[in-house]
Structure 1
Amino acid sequence: MQLKMFETTSELDRYAAQLFADALKEKPASTLGLATGSTPVGIYEKMIELYQQGDISFKYATTFNLDEYVGLTADHEQSYARFMNRHLFAHIDLPAGQTHLPQGTADDLAAECANYDRMLEERAVDIQLLGLGHNGHIGFNEPDRELQSGTHIVELEQATREANARFFASIDDVPTQAITMGVGSILKAESILLVVKGSDKAGILKQALQGPITTECPASLLQTHKNVTVLVDREAGRLL
């Protein structure tokens, strides 16, 4: 596991975007694992800049997102499909047919989970971007006595819903369930990029990287992966 600390989030974002650029230059048909939330926004901005400068192309890439809310249509303002279009897809040359998100409005959610896993089996993720939840979740894999390996439906913890309430009119509007790639699927990626920002994440980051490996802190399972790079700003890394 490699740890890199940055003085500014801008430097961090630029470095992370360049890692994706390097992957695409080495393998234009790379499969990219993408994340949502506030953490990757700056990274996507830098990726767009690299594309606009002609440094990279996404034309042959394929993307898989970690998760989606259950019950939100793709055109809902707070859906992750809408998020990805707003912050990345609409600004690069990635064909729409090469983007994948789990469908939280599928009639048969169990079948949707199985279908997503089949697609992931057919095309392994080359580089997976992750953020870190305040309770140690990655994707929407919440702390539990045991975790599901594959894509599944998860009941969101109150703390997770409260953390995401800032994006909605009120917490009552935050969905109670999500469909998420499982930790087992995440760990199958060839390389993993964990990005953590802010002093409020310092404690859980220390627990994830230096504490015991436990499903009660899903991110701690990243300690078992052979190729993880952790990028943090100075505030997030203050306890390391």
Structure 2
Amino acid sequence: MQVIICESPEQVGSRAADIIEARVRQGPAVLGLATGSSPSGTYRELIRRHREEQLSFSDATAFTLDEYAGLPLDHDQSYHSTIRREFVDHVDLPLSRLLTPHGDAEDLRAEAVRYDEAIREAGGVDIQILGIGANGHIGFNEPTSSLNSRTRVKTLAGATRSDNARFFPGGEVPQLCLTQGLGTIREAHQAVLVALGANKAGAVRAMVEGPVSAFCPASVLQLHPRAVVVLDPEAASQLQLIDYYRRAQELNDKLLGR
């Protein structure tokens, strides 16, 4: 796991965007898109590069990480609609290649299997963008999720529903979701997780320095051969080996001529 500690949220977005841009410019790429506040700066930077530096997503395919159960794709708070607002509608990625699990499917379990198979048929995800919850979840893989889990139906934890209640004023947050599993996420060719703020520091410490455990689902990235974690100082503040990570980062940047 490569840990990159940046000086600001803006720098976090830029460093994560560098990794994604490099893959997109190589040719047709399969992107895994996560919603949430942490990746938003990365999406803003990719949009800027699309507009100002001719970064094209016209050959890309994108799979979203998760979706609320019970919401149609065009619902204002579906993750399909959210990722369109935050990223896809601002670049040239064809909507026909923005793929999302259908939260309003009649048979949610069958839909989960279909979606997992669609990712495999696409050749797998080249770069999976991730955030992390304060309880260590990635996607909607809450604590105690199997480390080998596939895309499936999950019950949302109370803390997650409370965190997301602000997006459902006057309405109830869905209790179920469809999410890529930890085993599915591990199969991405590269994972890029971004985390911002002191409220994520405990989860980041458990993910990077704690044991691989279903209690901290994000810790499964320790088993990933190409996982990059990009942090601002607050999110990195509880890391015990922070000086080591900074030194390793300096040497790596020097080697790459950054």
* Shorter-chain TM band: over 0.9
**What is residue 165 of structure 2 aligned with on the other side?**
165
In angstroms, what is the RMSD of aligned CA positions? 1.2
**What is residue 205 of structure 1 aligned with on the other side?**
204
- Contact (CA 8 Å) 2:146, 2:182: kept in 1 or not? no
Normalised by the length of structure 2, the TM-score is 0.89
- Aligned identity (percent) is 43
Amino acid across the alignment from 1:226: P
**What is residue 231 of structure 1 aligned with on the other side?**
230
Distance 1:145 1:95 in 2: 33
- Contact (CA 8 Å) 1:32, 1:62: kept in 2 or not? yes
1:55 to partner: Cα distance:
3.0
The 1:112/1:159 distance shift into structure 2, 3 A limit, reads same
Distance 1:3 1:65 in 2: 24
Distance 1:231 1:16 in 2: 7
1:41 to partner: Cα distance:
1.2
Instruction: Map 1:61-76 onto structure 2 (within 5 A).
Output: 61-76=60-75
Amino acid across the alignment from 1:125: V
Q: Which structure 1 residue ranges, 5 or more long, are not aligned?
A: none
What stretches of structure 1 move > 3 A for 4+ residues in a row? 145-148
Say whether residues 1:43 and 2:49 are aligned partners. Answer: no
**Partner-residue secondary structure (3-state), 1:53:** helix
1:54 to partner: Cα distance:
3.5
Q: Structure 1, residues 122-163: CA drift from partner, whole Å, max 9, x if none?
A: 121111111001111110001116356211000001011011
**What is residue 192 of structure 2 aligned with on the other side?**
193
Distance 2:110 2:146 in 1: 22
Distance 1:217 1:45 in 2: 28
1:239 to partner: Cα distance:
1.0
Distance 2:146 2:118 in 1: 24
Instruction: Map 1:29-40 onto structure 2 (within 5 A).
Output: 29-40=28-39
The 1:166/1:145 distance shift into structure 2, 3 A limit, reads closer
Which of 104-113 and 180-189 deviates more?
Answer: 104-113
**What is residue 2 of structure 1 aligned with on the other side?**
2
Q: Structure 1, residues 26-59: CA drift from partner, whole Å, max 9, x if none?
A: 2x21100110011111111111111111431101
- Contact (CA 8 Å) 1:33, 1:66: kept in 2 or not? yes
Distance 2:187 2:105 in 1: 25
**What is residue 22 of structure 2 aligned with on the other side?**
22
Number of residue equivalences = 238
